[in-house]
Amino acid sequence: MSDLEHPRTIDFSTFIFSLGSAALIHLGVTANPMNNKIEKNLEEAKQNIDLLSLLQEKTKGNLTTDEEKLIHNLLHSLRMRYVEETQKS
């Protein structure tokens, strides 16, 4: 059966991974899955990173230990990559 008939369950971790993936695409680390091209857009990457940071702040105290680690580690990695990319430009 197709994904439309049985959509995947979206949980917090899936949502966070989705935002992280978008940031990686905008950082030029991963190809855009729609056209398989590398498309760097640091402004969009920063927006995704800021959104993840906002979610981390607003969900503090409501996450499992694994979810807290996930968002913390992802944000750290994305921020470091963002700094690297801005220094190249």
* All structural domains of the chain with their residue ranges: 12-88
Q: What's the confidence (pLDDT) of residue 3?
A: 57
User: What are the CA-CA distances from residue 46 to residues 21, 27, 36, 63, 70 (Å)?
Assistant: 13, 9, 21, 23, 18
Tokens standing for residue 77? 């990695």
Q: Give the DSSP H/E element, type plus range, for residue 9.
A: none
pTM to 2 decimals?
A: 0.86
Residue whose structure tokens are 């369950």: 9
**pLDDT tens, N- to C-terminus, the chain (89 residues):** 555 666 778 899 999 999 999 999 999 999 999 999 999 999 999 999 999 999 999 999 999 999 999 999 999 999 999 999 999 86
Q: What is the pLDDT of residues 28-52, one digit of tens each?
A: 999 999 999 999 999 999 999 999 9
